[in-house]
Amino acid sequence: MLLAIQNLLCDYRNNPIGIDTKKPTFSWEIISDKVNVYQEQFNIQVSLTQTFNQIIWNKKTFSDNSINVTYEGPSLESFKKYYYRVKIWTNLEEASEWSDTGSFEMGILDTNLWMADWITPERRDIELDFGTRQPFSCYKDFILNTKIKKAIVYVSSLGLYELALNGKKVGDDYLTPGWTDYNNCIQYQTYDVTDYISEQNRIEAVISEGWYSGYLGWQKGKDSYGNTNALIAQLHLYYIDGTSEIIGTDNKWMEQTTTIKMADIYNGSICDFQTKIQDKKNMVSYAFPKDGLTAQQNEPVKKIEEIRPKKLFKTPNGEVVLDMGQNMVGWVKIKNSPKLKTTLKLTHAEVLDKEGNFYIGNLRHAAQQSIYYGTEKTLEDLEPHFTFYGFRYVRLEGFPEDIDISWFKGIVVHSAMEEIGLFETSNPQINQLQSNIRWGQKGNFVDVPTDCPQRDERLGWTADAQVFSRTASYIMNTNLFFRKWLADMRFNQMEDGSIPLVVPDVIKGQYFLTEEGNKVLKTASAWGDAIIICPWMVFLTYGDTRILEDNYEAMKKWINFILIQGEEPYLWDSSVQLGDWLALDHKEDSLFGATDESLVATAFYAYSADILSKIAKLLYKYDDFCYYSELFEKIKMRFQEVFIQNGELVSQTQTAHILALYFELVPEQSKVQFSNTLVELIQKKNNHLDTGFVGTPYICHVLSENNCHELALKLLHNNDYPSWLYQIERGATTMWEHWDGIKEDGTFWSDSMNSFNHYSYGAVGDWMYKYIGGISIDEAGFKKSRIAPVISKDFSYVKSSIKTMYGLLGCSWKTNGNQVSMEVQVPHNTSSTIRIKSVENTDSVISVIRSNYEVMDLSVQEDDIYITVGSGLYRFEYTINKL
């Protein structure tokens, strides 16, 4: 008999240190060699010691909850380490042994415990070419006279920092302390540096402008949060004799020169190894508040993988170019400095032009360059600092004729979220599409969900993240990532309840619509609705109500903003909108779609009100539940009165019909008519879509839900313009911002806005998991799942899985003629309803199921078999009557 607990997590992390959640949550997975295993009881203990002889919290209760169990013990204390373990009892009358011991260590819970000062240099030099403040470096030496037991450092900066102890980089995080709205909170990181310490020590740091004061936005804005970069660090030394000491930043730290002469998010990095490292002046204290210092909220940015370049070649213009084979985000490392007296310059770009030459037009003002002087003076590998690039191609300047491709490696960086989704089919192009979606997420989930990683923008556009949030949450565990970003969204929410277009809001609620006569836009439907839709999608995937609780009041403020913004409380028709952004149903190369903007706005108003009513019910806010349920019905009624005329939508566009159907805004008796009209509109486009940012995420869902799945598959498999696979035919390895980023004649969309790494149209990914892979959610967190793949002749096999909080949920199927083999894996402590569709001989299949498996429920609807099962591995062989 095997029954065990594995994958203990505290606040979604394995043995975290430096957390400041006063009531962390615990989750665990159940391992068993039995089927239909459910937890009926659990016992969790938290102790001050690994031997559990000082237990401070002991909870034993009848419950099937094995995820997001909230700590309910005494108040946790700063700097203390706690240990926890779990034991369970199951429905099979089995008890597990105690799990392996997990741990968590608290950070600084009280601002008064920051003994260190913010420090900064007396003056800063300006790098003339780019107009940036040069990074500064500082250090402190200290000697230990007693043996060390443990050493923990807490560190943050106004800007970006790199910390080292005795010449070794501390931790494996990059772009720390991360990007938050620094007016609200500044993250600090915590590192165990016990193994770094020796008798004589030097702690040192380099600080650059980063997001704090560097260039942000396309208008060359600087100093978004301030014009003074500073460091704060606090090293706690615990000695074996029981004493302790704190070494913190103060005016005794010494500034020194640094080889890093320029570092900027957009422009890149300049290093001069000819620089003589020498002391300058003592640092000075900087009077900046500490009350915004907050422990790391999400997974930090890390080096995730390395890529070897595919090709080194010369363009028709004679430029030496490196092809990484993948549009990626990060930088290029030059292994073992080539010791050249020439200046080395690496310029990064996404695509080549139609003649095959290096193309940087779409970067706008972002230089994206790594520049190195005096490499003959160093032995180290060459890497840029405090920046990242979006690129596939790298122009190399200053290198010798015998340059070798083996000198280079691509370093991929992004927020270190766990990858949890798998989707694979027999069609290589569909697999490439899934890869493009995944790489789009990698490249744009760099601490905040950005719109693009290459041009002078890279901002947290709210609609982009909103439409992609469900797909993103299937591919990677995004819970902490979105929780951190949404905290800034709450802070940036304006007094009237509106949500800015980008978060963190560096454009200060001001976006100029040049196509609309230079009108200023501060918020928009679909964009502002991120405050409701993103938490909802994350909750559904991971089952953690905290993300709903944290954002609930902000959600209500957003809905109230819409309610009172005009004369019509149940319409949103009083302001300029972005509508179905970049749709193809308007004039060529327009930013705006043809769908009535008020229709789009009112549709999302209704959708958000409907979601909010569900959230209110989940949080036991029954008055609110009744209020928002009624509000949804009133908006729906007004939508029908205004936007449905003579039985038709006023906008005869694909997107209008998609939103009306997906958000359930059409009369029940008219759904077939409206779905038929949608089909006709698609057929008029020769079975192609013409949707933009708000219509595309739902188009295949609407078709599949309204008995038009074959047309949804047709849209998916189209490889001519406009389509998802058109991009792949053009060599795309990430998602594009425009359907026609590269036009059919090989020319580009306007340089003004043409990213080739932009995940919004990758929102089709969750539909692929649901209808092709067959996996969807029946109860939040996949406590209950639904397995219902639509078997199609378009694929000979499909494999899909999601690592849920309970364990691996998977579905794979393959066909041989009309014979179907399907395999389903359901994790312990969950159940799943499996649909076996279009079965030729239901009786014989049911007989086999009953003889092989213990099912909780079984029913037949026409020739579809539905079974509800507990955990286990299930295999089905049957003949399909409609393929």
Residues with catalytic roles:
457, 737
Q: Which residue bears the tokens 């591995």?
A: 873
Distance in Å from the first CA to the final CA of the chain:
42
Phi, psi of 648 (to 5 degrees): -130, 150
**CA distances from residue 221 to 270, 457, 507, 508, 510 in whole angstroms, order as listed:** 21, 11, 9, 11, 13
Cα–Cα distance measured from residue 43 to residue 63, given in angstroms and rounded to the nearest whole number: 10
- CA angle 507/219/692 to nearest 5° reads 70
Residue 117 token pair: 């000062």
Cα–Cα distance measured from residue 228 to residue 352, given in angstroms and rounded to the nearest whole number: 39
Alpha-carbon radius of gyration of the chain? 28
Cα–Cα distance measured from residue 547 to residue 852, given in angstroms and rounded to the nearest whole number: 41
Burial of 318 (0-12, 13-18, 19+ CB in 10 A): exposed
Cα–Cα distance measured from residue 83 to residue 49, given in angstroms and rounded to the nearest whole number: 6
Phi, psi of 882 (to 5 degrees): -140, 105
DSSP 509: T
Question: How many Cβ atoms sit within 10 Å of the Cβ of residue 767?
Answer: 23
Burial of 650 (0-12, 13-18, 19+ CB in 10 A): middle
Residues contacting residue 102 through CB under 8 Å, at least 6 positions apart:
8, 9, 10, 14, 15, 26, 83, 84, 85
Phi, psi of 445 (to 5 degrees): -100, 65
Cα–Cα distance measured from residue 11 to residue 104, given in angstroms and rounded to the nearest whole number: 9
Grouping H, G, I as helix, E, B as strand and the rest as coil, residue 337 is coil
- Give the CB-side neighbour count of residue 273, counting CA atoms within 13 A: 22
- Give the CB-side neighbour count of residue 275, counting CA atoms within 13 A: 16
Residue 463 token pair: 């609609």
Residue 241 token pair: 């004799």
- Sign of the alpha-carbon torsion through 418, 421, 427, 432: negative
Phi, psi of 611 (to 5 degrees): -65, -40
Q: Which of 276, 107, 84, 124 is nearest to 213 (CA)?
A: 124
Q: Which residue bears the tokens 């076996």?
A: 836
Q: Which of 397, 391, 260 is nearest to 332 (CA)?
A: 391
Asked if 434 and 426 touch (Cβ cutoff 8 Å), the reply is no
User: What is the DSSP annotation of 436-459?
Assistant: HHHHHHHHHEESEE-S-SSSS---
Cα–Cα distance measured from residue 649 to residue 658, given in angstroms and rounded to the nearest whole number: 11
**CA distances from residue 605 to 155, 523, 571 in whole angstroms, order as listed:** 42, 13, 8
DSSP 598: H
Q: Which of 33, 44, 41 is nearest to 8 (CA)?
A: 44
Residues contacting residue 800 through CB under 8 Å, at least 6 positions apart:
421, 422, 423, 424, 769, 772, 773, 774, 775, 810, 811, 812
